Amino acid sequence: MSNKKAGKIIVIVAPSGAGKTTIARKLLADNPKIKFSTSATTRPPRKGEKDGREYYFLSEEEFSRKVKEDDFLEWEEYSGNKYGTLQSEVDKLVESGYFPLLDIEVKGALNVQRIYEKDSLISIFIKPPSMDVLKERLANRGSETDESLSRRLERAKIELQHAEDFDYSVVNDDLETAYTEVKEIIESFITD
């Protein structure tokens, strides 16, 4: 008997700045059966981000309490902050008949792949066309300090080595082309 969890989960994974949030937002707007699984984080909100929508913004203490209480399906440190997928969030969506979409970094995604049955999870790695383009996109997004930008780029080099560990990898050069590819992969998975 497997003790892995049931339910169909979509995982979009990529180095920061590769475009996974942009692609995820388009998917969510196009397909009402797919719902974003809001993670918890200790990172402060960016301009325009709302608690409970992009993330549940927690203090270090609140996050640690949830770790102790085993509330996370997975959690990781990333660029000096903690990020975690709440088991309750994923379960709530699955029980309501939705397909949860997880937008998470590589280590967390590898862990989620170990927890869920192969048939109940699809993972797509979004690749930037090059490191130079990744740097440019991150810089243009205007969300990072110089320090955070270089930490994210350092981490990206390691993350890119894991592209083949996921079910699919899609290069996000032209957005519409990449989006169409991702949408087709996911729609065939959820209608299976």
User: Which residues sit at the interface with ligand ADP, rule CB under 6 A?
Assistant: 14, 16-22, 137, 140-141, 172, 175
43 binds, among ligand 5GP, ligand ADP, none (CB under 5 to 8 A by kind): ligand 5GP
The burial of 133, by beta-carbon neighbours within 10 Å (0-12 exposed, 13-18 middle, 19 or more buried), is given as middle
- Say how far apart CA 187 and CA 192 lie, in whole Å: 8
Minimum CB separation from ligand 5GP for residue 1, in Å?
28
Positive or negative CA dihedral for 98, 17, 45, 42? Answer: positive
**66 to 105: interface string for ligand 5GP, x by CB under 6 A:** --------x-x-x----xxx-----------------xxx
Rounded CA gap, 2 and 20, in Å? 31
Restricting to residues 130-159, which ones interact with ligand 5GP according to CB under 6 A?
A: none
**Residue 16 interacting with ligand 5GP (CB under 6 A):** yes
Given ligand 5GP, ligand ADP, none, residue 100, with its beta carbon under 5 to 8 Å by kind, binds none
The CA distance from 103 to 36, in Å, is 8
Joined tokens for residue 162: 């894991």
> Which partner from the list ligand ADP, ligand 5GP, none does 35 bind, CB cut-off 5 to 8 Å by kind?
none
Q: Please list every residue from 26 through 65 that binds ligand 5GP, using CB under 6 A.
A: 39, 43
